[in-house]
Structure 1
Amino acid sequence: MYVVRPVETADIPALESLAAVTMPGVHTLPRSRDKIELAVERSLASFAAQVDIPSEESYLFVLESLTERHPAERRICGTAAIFASAGSNGTYFSFRNDVIQQVSRDLNICHSVHALTLCSELTAYSQLSSFYADPAVQDGPEAALLSRSRLLYALQQPQRFGDRFFVPLAGVTDEAGESPFWNALGRKFFKMDFLDAERVIGGARNRTLIVELMPHYPVYVPLLPGDAQAVMGQIHPSGELAFNLLTAEGFEADEYIDIFDGGPILQAHKHALRTFNSSQTLRVRTGASTSREGQRLNYAISNNGSAGFRAITLACPDLDGVEAVALTPELQDLLRVAEGDSVTCVRI
């Protein structure tokens, strides 16, 4: 059994172990114990806060594996986070893909040029980040549950988040950690290697020196080396799972890319996302779901709490048009609900 819940202080050693795994496809997951402790403290404070307008809050969730025979044996096998407002203490910078029309009437020539423009349009969007799922759960519904739980929480707590969401995914790097995109562009202005830039300024994407040093005028893509052009908007192989889950949710790419490695930035209005436009609130009834062979669908089911948020997967018959969902006493305990309570359900 698996459950997604808010991070707890007791999870810090497990998070430290996860951070030791090489995860180039993960954005903004802290690596050092001090930063992990800070992220956990910030998350605990955010869940506990009374929020009317999204600001500096960040919410970190974990996917926990529970053994039915030995409930005390628990293992953290995934993380996912959501920031209430990107750039809340500054400005979030990205490159916008633009097309510039070049026209010469004298020569009767008209053509389009792909250009990158430094922009801050994603500032104040809510940002999904820190997604990591253990290889053991990547092929099952648990990975989708982990990714979607952040949006289920945002659905239930709309005052805590913006109306638009975005997700930066890590771009292509080689075995040595070098980024062709960075070497072709950012390195020329920052005078440092990609890994050094990621460590010093990369996570926030909102430091003043970015706008101080990055070019203010459009960057004409045809002038970049071929290897840099080839990786623009491409994801690191470790980010393919997250990309597939997010595009299935309703996120779209192609408009923005990351200013460091050229990785894609997916974005969407909340009403375009399946969690917001396809979820339903149902009443809990005690029982086991039954159906004929081949008619079971996977759903993400969450309680409607805040700091006590819980989400699980459930294989059951189609829930469209029903008023209640059958949950066993064990699943009710996992969700911290009782018969007659309401839960939010969305197909995964």
Structure 2
Amino acid sequence: MTHIIRAATTSDLDALYDLSKITGGGFTNLPPDRGTLAEKLERTAASFAREGETQEDDLYVFMLEDLETGRIRGTCQVFGKVGVTQPFYSYRISTQTQQSKELDRIFRNQLLTPCNDLEGSSEVGGLFLHPAERAGGLGLLLARSRYLFIKQNRPRFGARILAELRGVIDPGGHSPFWDAIGGKFFGMTFPEADEFNATNGTQFIADLFPQSPIYVSMLPESAQAVIGQPHPTGRAALKMLQKEGFVWDNYVDIFDGGPTVVAATDNVQSIKRADWYILDGDCDGEECERTLAATGRLADFKCASGRGKIEKGHIRLDSATIAALELEPGDTVLAVGR
């Protein structure tokens, strides 16, 4: 294993900006704006340095680093608590049933209602892997490393955790969902609104967005078809989230209609199954299973994927993982199997 996940620092700005320029748009947590990304890294530094073990408005950014080349190949983020400084908006999909005795028919209409139901949750997001690296399990390392960080620092996170997936947008970066709803009220294209949201926050939604429910049947078919659907590049991410125990509970993103999935934090599989072990040494030459291992807390957090063997509170890891995490026999390691 030559890659590790580590805490981001302010010196990662150039690498983070380079990644942001190749996301393809609609990626609110990773906007191609140096000023906004610099603020994210400064907020991250303050979150890692914060004293206390309470859930706050923290942001933790992580970088996927190739140890052989020193290049940054991906990134991911964890939010301690959403909706603290600005409202956290979603659309909740509900069904309204009406009956006409004269017509002898029952009508079931789906409604989109703006809500703040998910405020106070923690969030995993901002996951992006360089297109040249989308093989070999690095996406899984990025995704699952966040759960080990949450396990390491559990009091800083809430009882519920969510993930927003980017919705369907066309090759030009436009969203049929936004064009059918938000575009009618804001006079902005989806790329313009998405950029404004990424750099200025969500208050403009409260100021201008319609607060009354919207009948789905009144939307164009192009918009109806993408409600709750992830961007094609996000389908694998959705499957990974579902495997961890996240479910879609009829919440969608207010901008592009992409699905928002939720889970009880302590029931996320990588959090629930992870535990601390004493490192005995390497397991080279033995039959070992795929293992995710992490060490350090907050700014010292590092995570790598390798092979390991767990026996009664002790663990042996392959020598490459031990070297990547700079471990010594007797060290405590947080680990979870495949």
Shorter-chain TM-score: which interval? over 0.9
Query: 8 Å contact 1:79–1:130 — kept in the other structure?
Result: yes
Superposed, which structure 2 residues align to 1:281-320 within 5 Å?
Answer: 281-292=276-287, 296-317=288-309, 319=310
Query: How has the CA–CA distance of structure 1 residues 328 and 239 changed in structure 2, closer, same or farther, with 3 Å as cutoff?
Result: closer
Instruction: Map residues 25-36 of structure 1 onto 2, 5 A cutoff.
Output: 26-36=27-37
> Distance in 2 between the 1:285 and 1:204 partners?
50
**3-state DSSP class of the match of 1:176?**
coil
- C-alpha distance 248-205 of structure 1, shift in aligned 2 (>3 A): farther
Deviations 1:95-123 (A, max 9, x none): 01111121335554333211111100111
CA contact (8 A) 1:169 1:263 kept: yes
CA deviations over 1:39-89 (Å, ceiling 9, x no partner) = 11111111111133322210000111112xxxxx31100000011111210
- Name the SS for the 1:41 alignment partner: helix
Deviations 1:272-296, CA, capped at 9 Å, x for gaps: 311122222211111234434xxx4
Deviates more, 1:336-345 or 1:167-176: 336-345
Q: Quick one: distance in 2 between partners of 1:301 and 1:93? A: 35
* Selected match of 1:172 from 145, 168, 171: 168
Q: Match of 2:223?
A: 228
The size of the alignment, in residue pairs, is: 337
Pick from 100, 125, 128 the counterpart of residue 124 of structure 2. 128
Of 173, 188, 191, the match for 2:187: 191
Change (3 A) 1:324 1:316: same
Match of 2:98 among 98, 102, 109: 102
Q: Is this contact kept in 1: 2:31–2:195, CA < 8 A?
A: no
User: What TM-score, normalized to structure 2?
Assistant: 0.92
Q: Sort the Cα spacing of 1:221 and 1:203 in 2 relative to 1 into closer, same or farther, 3 A.
A: farther
Matched, 1:4 2:20: no
Q: Look up the match of 1:155.
A: 151
Partner of 1:65: 66
- Could you tell me how far 1:205 is from its partner in structure 2? 6.0
Measure how far apart 1:204 and its partner are.
Answer: 7.0
The aligned residue for residue 208 of structure 2 is 213
Unaligned runs of at least 5 residues, structure 2: none
Q: Verify: 1:48 aligned to 2:44, yes or no.
A: no
Specify whether residues 193 and 25 from structure 1 end up closer, same or farther in structure 2 by C-alpha distance, changes over 3 A only: closer
- SS of match in other structure, 1:54: coil
Structure 1: 4+ residue segments shifted above 4 A: 105-108, 202-205
Are 1:271 and 1:277, in contact at CA under 8 Å, matched by a contact in 2?
Answer: yes
Do structure 1's residue 201 and structure 2's residue 197 form an aligned pair?
yes
Aligned-partner Cα distance in 2 for 1:290–1:324: 18
Q: In structure 2, do the counterparts of structure 1 residues 93 and 269 end up closer, same or farther at CA, with 3 Å as the change threshold?
A: same
Q: Provide the identity percentage.
A: 32
- Opposite residue 112 of structure 1, the aligned amino acid is R
One-letter amino acid of the structure 2 residue matched with residue 315 of structure 1: R
RMSD of aligned alpha carbons: 2.0
Q: Deviations over 1:15-54 (max 9, x none)?
A: 1211221433633113222222221111111111113332
Q: Structure 1 unaligned runs (5+)? A: 68-72
Q: Aligned partners of 2:199, 2:264: CA distance in 1, in Å?
A: 23
In the alignment, the residues of structure 2 paired with residue 107 and residue 203 of structure 1 have an alpha-carbon distance, to the nearest angstrom, of 51
> In the alignment, which residue of structure 2 is the partner of 1:70?
none
Q: Does 306-315 or 106-115 show the bigger shift?
A: 106-115
* AA matched with 1:82: V
